[in-house]
Amino acid sequence: MTRDSFDLAIVGGGPAGLAAMDLADECGLSCVLIDENSSLGGRIFHGIETDGQDHLYGTDATWARTLVADAKHAGSILTGRTVFDITHHDDGPINIHILGDEGAETVLARRLLIATGATERPFAFPGWTLPGVMTAGGVQTLLKGAAVVPDGPVVLAGSGPLLLLVALQLKRAGAQIAALLDTTPAANAMAAAPLLASAAFSGFAVWRGLGLLMAIRAQSIPVYRGVTKLVAHGEDTVASVEFEHGRGRRRFECRLLVTHLGILPDTQAARLAGCRLRWEPALPGWVPIVDSYGNTSRSGIMIAGDAAGIGGAESARHAGRVAATEAATQLGAISMGERDHRIAPDLARLKRLGRERAFLDRLFLPPERLRVPTDDGTIVCRCEEITAGELRAQAAGGVCEINQVKAITRCGMGPCQGRVCGVLAADIIADAMGAAVESVGYLRVRPPLKPVPLDVLAARAEIATPPPEAAFLYTREG
Amino acid sequence: MRDDPDIPRFRQLTEGPSVEIIFEGTRLTVPKGISLAAALLLHGLPAGRIGALSGSQRCAYCLIGQCFDCTMTIDGVPYRQACLTPVSEGMTAERQVA
């Protein structure tokens, strides 16, 4: 079934998507917002529509709730729908193919805004596939969306603001925290110091971070710094975690190991749509190429928020407003002068927020020794169970491009389609070759973006057999 | 299998309305509106797929729809993500090889 055509379709109901929806409506555009979750808020504001847990979102709770409420009056909301393909032929509308409980549908739109947010950087070490190892974002999602907290001793390991925040939130929720293992290298603080003053005067991130550290100390959470060589032990589930700290090895028993190594843009939909990416050394990672209005290398397709590069929730909200206003300008709903007038405060705020982001990026920059598992037996591709050693063997044999590695080893070919292992595998290959990660490339994404029952696909002949001229959509260069 | 000591344990902070779901033939009372993955974790049950290669039990890992370790057959449809699927009255769920 094909739905009505919209001026703007937005994929992702986080701060960028919600703010874009509101602005687009204000500019007179018809819009639709699609999200695979059953409620709005995105990953950062997951569960914001549920009462009683405002403390989990800090001072952002108020504006996040307003965004959700405003977006609901601004157009059609399609939650619980997964985008499985994006096609765009000639000058026609962009086709966004979605799957929900009622089956597959196609949304037509003149402009598409991808606002799929961020995903966690993979943190691979021996034992990371054991039940009981979870990402910090995942554990926070359980808390925000279901008020579910771990019972039994918890160890948190890794680096980044989210790990610290989750440690504090779990402790305040009554969880038993055995240890917080901080893997941030001591040298990071020195390297980030020159950026501190500019960041501190640009926003609240530095002050919030200080408050977080003080709160962790006040809660008496045992913190171990400069942690390396993490190993999770257990037969059927994680039972203990071993690590190196100072000169010795230590071990803590735990029922849950929470890991985190920073976040990266979720570029799966952007790559499917054929948007070109560039290497961003500050993350380090791949980010879509966008101009200051959110336009990508594909005409009609825009990206805003963390999906375009990590900036945080407040940045995402401003970027969403900018992108929606730009879409309205391109569609003739408002003039360029009106656009510039509307978005001037947003662009100014984005610039300031960028300064504190530069500090945070440098402070928590993950070193190569954490991004590349040293043990050859460590699983890299959780789906196809390909190990670091198998990838290094490919590098030794001269296979140096990530899509070739995928074709030969099946790394990245399982149900998750390389969402978790893609950047990890590229880091390993680059390290083994002594080459720059950007020369290894990134995984191509092909439809379907997520699994679709075959009977659904079969009923949609135009997707089962795309016209040959559409094939260029799925090449790396777009 | 219920309250298997080998599966990580979780508890809920709040109390509210509940629904009944059927996990591999066993009726479970779970909080209304939460994800299937969260509901199974609350019961100490394996919220995840059986690895297609090693046969090892996996459990929800990312809980944001990325990793597919919580892939399950839900209401008869395979390859669905338990972390993105809210529980509903009478929902059936089974582990699957994936």
Whole-structure pTM value: 0.95
Query: Are the CB atoms for A271 and A286 separated by under 8 Å?
Result: no
Determine which of A83, A237, A384, A417 to mutate to test the interface with B (most B C-beta atoms within 10 Å): A237
Q: Is B65 on the interface with A (CB under 8 A)?
A: yes
Instruction: Report chain A's mean pLDDT, rounded to a whole number.
Output: 94
Chain A residues 377-436 with a CB less than 8 Å from chain B: 382-385, 414-416, 419-420
Given phi > 0 = left and psi -120 to 50 = alpha, else beta, which region is A430? alpha
3 state DSSP class of B97: strand
Structure tokens given for A340: 């510039």
N-term to C-term CA, chain A: 28
Amino acid residing at A473 = L
Q: What is the DSSP string of A207-270?
A: HHHHHHHHHHHHTT--EE-S-EEEEEE-SSS--EEEEEETTEEEEEE-SEEEEEE-EEE--HHH
Q: Which residues in chain A have their CB less than 8 angstroms from residue B67's CB?
A: 382, 416, 419-420
Q: Would strands A103-114 and A248-253 be described as parallel, antiparallel, or unpaired?
A: unpaired
List, in order, residues 6 or more apart from A468 with CB less than 8 Å away: none
Chain A residues 168-197 with a CB less than 8 Å from chain B: 173-174
pLDDT at A184 over 80: yes
Q: What are the pLDDT digits (tens) for A322-354?
A: 999 999 999 999 999 999 999 999 999 999 999
Indicate the pLDDT class of residue A462, thresholds 50, 70 and 90: low
Q: What are the pLDDT digits (tens) for A230-249?
A: 999 999 999 999 999 988 99
Q: How far is B25 from chain A (nearest CA, A)?
A: 22
Nearest to A306 by CA among A380, A361, A365, A260: A361
User: Angle, to 10 degrees, between the axis of helix A205-218 and the axis of helix A187-200?
Assistant: 130
3 state DSSP class of A369: helix
DSSP H helix total and E strand total for chain B: 1, 6
Indicate the pLDDT class of residue B8, thresholds 50, 70 and 90: low
Spell out the long-range contacts of A204-208 with Cβ–Cβ below 8 A and sequence spacing 24 or more. A205/A161, A205/A312, A205/A356, A205/A357, A205/A359, A205/A360, A206/A356, A206/A359, A208/A58
Instruction: Give the nearest chain B residue to A43 (CA atoms).
Output: B64
Q: Would strands A285-288 and A277-280 be described as parallel, antiparallel, or unpaired?
A: antiparallel
The rounded radius of gyration (Å) of the Cα atoms in chain B is 12
Cα angle A290, A292, A297; round to 5: 25
Does the beta-carbon distance from B34 to A419 stay under 8 Å? no
Judged by average pLDDT, the poorest of A1-15, A89-103, A455-469 is A455-469
Does the beta-carbon distance from A131 to B7 stay under 8 Å? yes
Query: Are the CB atoms for A381 and B54 separated by under 8 Å?
Result: no
Residues A437-447, mean pLDDT to the nearest whole number: 96
Q: What are the pLDDT digits (tens) for A305-320?
A: 999 999 999 999 999 9
Q: How far apart are CA A162 and CA A97, in angstroms?
A: 33
Indicate the pLDDT class of residue A289, thresholds 50, 70 and 90: very high
The residues that bridge with A177 in the sheet, in sequence order, are: A154
Structure tokens given for B6: 């080998």
CA dihedral over A308, A309, A310, A313, signed as positive or negative: negative
| Core vs surface per residue A158-168: b (16+ CB within 10 A) or e | bbbbbbbbbbb
Q: What are the pLDDT digits (tens) for A81-124?
A: 999 999 998 789 999 999 998 889 999 999 999 999 999 999 99
Q: Is B98 on the interface with A (CB under 8 A)?
A: yes
Judged by average pLDDT, the poorest of A275-289, A325-339, B6-20, B84-98 is B6-20
Q: Which residues in chain B have their CB less than 8 angstroms from residue A415's CB?
A: 49, 68, 71, 79, 98
Nearest to B45 by CA among B83, B2, B95, B88: B2
| Peptide bond before residue A185 is cis, with ω within 30 degrees of 0 | no
Domain ranges of chain B: 18-95
Q: What are the pLDDT digits (tens) for A415-436?
A: 999 999 999 999 999 999 999 9
Query: Are the CB atoms for A277 and A265 separated by under 8 Å?
Result: no
Cα angle A423, A454, A471; round to 5: 55
List % helix, strand, coil for chain B (3-state, nearest 5): 5, 35, 60
Class of domain B18-95: alpha beta
Q: How far is A113 from chain B (nearest CA, A)?
A: 20
pLDDT at A478 over 50: no
Does the beta-carbon distance from A237 to B6 stay under 8 Å? yes
Cα angle A252, A256, A260; round to 5: 95
Q: How far is CA A222 from CA A169, A176, A232, A240, in A?
A: 15, 11, 19, 16
Q: How far apart are CA A132 and CA A255, in angstroms?
A: 6
Structure tokens given for A255: 């029922």
Query: Are the CB atoms for A166 and A260 separated by under 8 Å?
Result: yes
Q: How far apart are CA A296 and CA A274, in angstroms?
A: 9
